[in-house]
Amino acid sequence: MRPAHVTILASLLLAASPPGLAATGDGAGALPAALAARAQSCAACHGPEAAAEMPIIGGQHAAYLYLQMRDYQSGNRADPRMAGAVDGLDRDQLIALARHFAADPWPANGAEPAGQSARQQARSAISAGECSQCHLGGFKGDSRVPRLAGQREDYLHATLLAFKHGGRSNSPAMADLMAGFSDEEIAAMAAYLAGYRDDASP
Ligand code: HEC
Ligand code: HEC
């Protein structure tokens, strides 16, 4: 992907947030009782103690979480482990869940900073891919662009490979971009981003 494309996509992406998800103010995390029970069912896989291949969702951006849940419902994104997890929830319930998880603090993932050779390889891939144009400084993300810093390494690795090899097709821009990187560069970027510590806050 040429830099001009990246810049245009970045400005489009950062411009708009789905309604109801732009801000997380007081009470953003509160849920009605029926939804609270549903939210508890996510913890085994997404909580702070979950396995390395499970993405952290607590502290992720609300608009991004909402769009992913919508994609799992529609089949635009599919994974057997998420099958049925968000079925039967309407749009307002998805938004409430997204805001609930977004209001959690981002948990520590236990990763060590990447080793020196992975770090060098990752830095040059990240600069070639202009990741920060969209994922922003400190890889903090915003709105519909996910936070990457401190996400779990195995999950980052798997999802970047899935973009590249077609297993995750809900973002043509990320798929096009990943097609340009070797599997080794992708592994290095996953290790680097998981261990990225510059910015501890969400
Ligand atoms: C059995 C384990 C399991 C349960 C239960 C589960 N999930 Fe997931 N979830 C996963 C896995 C594994 C992925 C990554 C799958 C993939 O690569 O597409 C995922 C992905 C996600 C994502 C996308 C994360 C990202 O960074 O892109 C969201 C959002 C999500 N789940 C929300 C939920 C919610 C909300 C619930 C409860 C209502 C839930 N999940 C229940 C295993 C689970
Ligand atoms: C043009 C903007 C743009 C650029 C440049 C970009 N990304 Fe993304 N990225 C996105 C968007 C938007 C998403 C969310 C896609 C979706 O909704 O499924 C995303 C998703 C991701 C995810 C999935 C996170 C998760 O929780 O599942 C990873 C990992 C990722 N990007 C890494 C990278 C890396 C590494 C680079 C640089 C090599 C990069 N991105 C460059 C916009 C971009």
Range of the domain at 169: 113-194
Ligand 2 centroid distance, CA of 141 (Å): 9
Q: Cβ distance 147 to 106 under 8 Å?
A: yes
* More reliable by pLDDT, 185 or 33: 185
In a domain, 166, yes or no: yes
In a domain, 127, yes or no: yes
In a domain, 77, yes or no: no
| pLDDT per residue as tens digits for the range 146-164 | 999 999 999 999 999 999 9
State the pLDDT confidence band at 104, using cuts at 50, 70 and 90.
very high
In a domain, 44, yes or no: no
In a domain, 56, yes or no: no
Output the pLDDT for position 201. 40
Rounded distance, CA 104 to CA 106, Å?
A: 6
Domain count, the chain: 1
* More reliable by pLDDT, 20 or 55: 55
State the pLDDT confidence band at 21, using cuts at 50, 70 and 90.
confident
Task: Please report, for the domain that includes residue 165, its CATH number.
Answer: 1.10.760.10
Output the pLDDT for position 67. 98
The protein residue whose alpha carbon is closest to atom 3 in ligand 1 is 45
Which numbered ligand comes closest to the C-alpha of 50?
1
Q: Cβ distance 106 to 199 under 8 Å?
A: no
Predicted structure pTM score: 0.93
* More reliable by pLDDT, 10 or 183: 183
Q: Which atom of ligand 1 is nearest to the CA of 42?
A: 37
Name the residue with tokens 């400084």: 137
Mutate to test the pocket of ligand 1, among 67, 81, 159 (most ligand atoms within 8 A of CB): 81
Output the pLDDT for position 200. 43
CB-defined site of ligand 2, < 6 Å:
6, 9-10, 13, 55, 67, 125-126, 129-131, 133-135, 144-146, 148, 151, 156, 159-160, 170-171, 173-174, 177, 189
* More reliable by pLDDT, 88 or 4: 88
Name the residue with tokens 């040059």: 124
Rounded distance, CA 27 to CA 153, Å?
A: 31
In a domain, 173, yes or no: yes
In a domain, 108, yes or no: no
The protein residue whose alpha carbon is closest to atom 29 in ligand 2 is 156
* More reliable by pLDDT, 130 or 10: 130
- Cα–chain center distance at 51: 16
Whether the predicted pLDDT of 202 surpasses 50: no
Whether the predicted pLDDT of 1 surpasses 60: no
In a domain, 155, yes or no: yes
Ligand 1 centroid distance, CA of 55 (Å): 7
